[in-house]
Amino acid sequence: MAQTFKRIAADLLPKLHPYIRVPQRMIRFEKASLRFLGLKACTVDHDINDLLSLSWGKGSEFILDFGIHMVGFLSFHLDYIGQNMDAPCRLRLAFGESPLDVTMDMDNVKTWISTAWLPDEVINVDTCPQTINLPRRYSFRYLRVQIIDTSAKFKVSFSNVRCESVSAVVQDHHIDAIEFPDALLQDIDHVCISTLRDCMQTVFEDGPRRDRRLWIGDLRLQALANYSTFRDFNLVKRCLFQFAAVRREDGSLPACIFEKPTLTASTDYITDYDALFAAIVYDYVEASRDTETGYLLWETVLDCVKRLQSNLNPDSYIFEVERTKHHIFLDWAKGLDKSAGAHGVLLYCLKVTNKLAVRLNKQPPYNDLILKMTDAANSFLKDGVFVSGETQQVSYASAAWLVLCEAFPPEIARKALLATLAHPDALKPLTPYLWHHVCDALAKLECYDECVHLIRSYWGGMVEAGADTFWECYDAQDCMASPYGDVRNNSWCHAWSCTPTYLLRTTLWKTVKAERVGKVTMGELDQRWIKRSLGNDVI
């Protein structure tokens, strides 16, 4: 079936739609202690229309602001002014998703992932005039241009700076136009949509800057947001068949895949991601009514939940992390005990597998195991809060997944969830990925006001900090927080952070008093955001 699945995925390859963005203004960043990132954008003496008339020599630099986050290909025209161009012009270009990218240097970065992801390039231009077309795709709003060197005999000038942005979503694509009485929720919904659009390329990428790959955990959340906005079922279907095509000999699925140069499974393996593939298939079949895909992927779904089951104690059916060496994610929070949370993930995935079976008129395979694991889940509830591991750790991760798997009656679950979230020692999430599951758990138990409050404080905090797209990680107390040891390797447009639009447009609809007011195109939404960012000075 692998070749069949590859062919199905290949036939669903989307066309990427280009659209041109140009810089809106020249700026500089000044220190601002009261701002989250400690920086504020200020205009400079020159208008963007003056760029062509300006010349730049060794050691000079400038920053261009495009007014909106983009994913695409940069080009510009470079000329020289002076006697002769008797040496190359050496430039450093830094592509900023956030102000930190264009204000911090990229030297001495101490991180456990590759520094080749850092968003800067050094290029040498031998002759001018010349139009420079950079072959690599970038993800940015700000462009910092540093003239490292020319010579005493010439300076350089820049003109026709532009970015050919690309996405699987065309600019005239219509989505439901929603009005929220709360302006912050309006912005949150907008930023979610922008984040999702920029990650929708030939697959649902986790981040268009880093890693540019399709991950199971991210795909699940992107697909949910997509069903409430763009409704691009073919892109979800393509990604599902790509994973199924690279299924391993034991039936497990890799955590992520590589598209190029050929479809290849990554060596990364995450057991909770493997199991969650079942949920993605079920959600897709429910949203699209495409039961044929459900039938084709049924065997893959049955296999993907098996490895996580190997962590179950054969007598008590309690999930024990230490039983295997397989990596379990849940979140990047340091010191997180994952037994309770993973118990919830597995139980959740077994239940959605049963639901998919019913949808496909098959016999549900996990009725007995679900009963045993549900009974075993009582071991994770102590003194009214959810706990995990030998230390009885209290965490948001444990609470979220034990609620989502519906291991407890709603009233008991509601009291325990709220008590856990209020516990002074509860370990909080680092990533929007887990914060989403906390929000989803609150919504499932009809704690709608608490859910909206969390969305406003967490995702709203990013908006108020200047986010055009939502970030890979966010700690309101630490702007330099990073899972990788250095904020300069963070992704500032990351797929797993786009889900508030899904909750706001579905479960929370009545609570937030949302109203449909027709349709709006992505191009119109983009222009609104640029105007919001820059005022009336829009080019």
- Per-residue pLDDT reduced to its tens digit, 310-369: 999 999 999 999 999 999 999 999 999 999 999 999 999 999 999 999 999 999 999 999
At residue 27's C-alpha, the angle toward residues 22 and 32, to 5°, is: 135
- pLDDT per residue as tens digits for the range 48-72: 999 999 999 999 999 999 999 999 9
SS3 72: strand
Which class would CATH give 17-167?
Answer: mainly beta
Integer angstrom CA distances of residue 9 from 12, 16, 173: 5, 16, 23
E-only strand ranges, 333-461: 381-382, 385-386
Residue 422, pLDDT > 70, answer: yes
Query: Of 267, 197, 291, nearest to 495 (Cα)?
Result: 197
SS3 65: strand
SS3 324: coil
Rounded distance between C-alpha atoms, residue 430 and residue 158, angstroms: 41
Q: What does DSSP assign to residue 15?
A: P
Mean pLDDT across the stretch 462-475?
A: 97
Q: Taken in order 395, 399, 404, 406, is the CA torsion positive or negative?
A: positive
The pLDDT of residue 175:
98
Q: In the structure, what pLDDT confidence band is assigned to residue 535 with cuts at 50, 70 and 90?
A: confident
SS (H, E, C) 154-216: EEEEEEEEEEEEEECCCCCCEEEEEECCCHHHHHHHHHHHHHHHHHECCCECCCCCCCCCEEH
Q: In the structure, what pLDDT confidence band is assigned to residue 537 with cuts at 50, 70 and 90?
A: low
Enter the pTM of the model. Answer: 0.97
Which residues, at least 6 apart from 349, have a Cβ–Cβ distance to it below 8 Å? 275, 276, 278, 279, 304, 305, 308
The pLDDT of residue 539:
64
Rounded distance between C-alpha atoms, residue 324 and residue 307, angstroms: 9
Residue 174 contacts residue 521 (beta carbons within 8 Å): yes
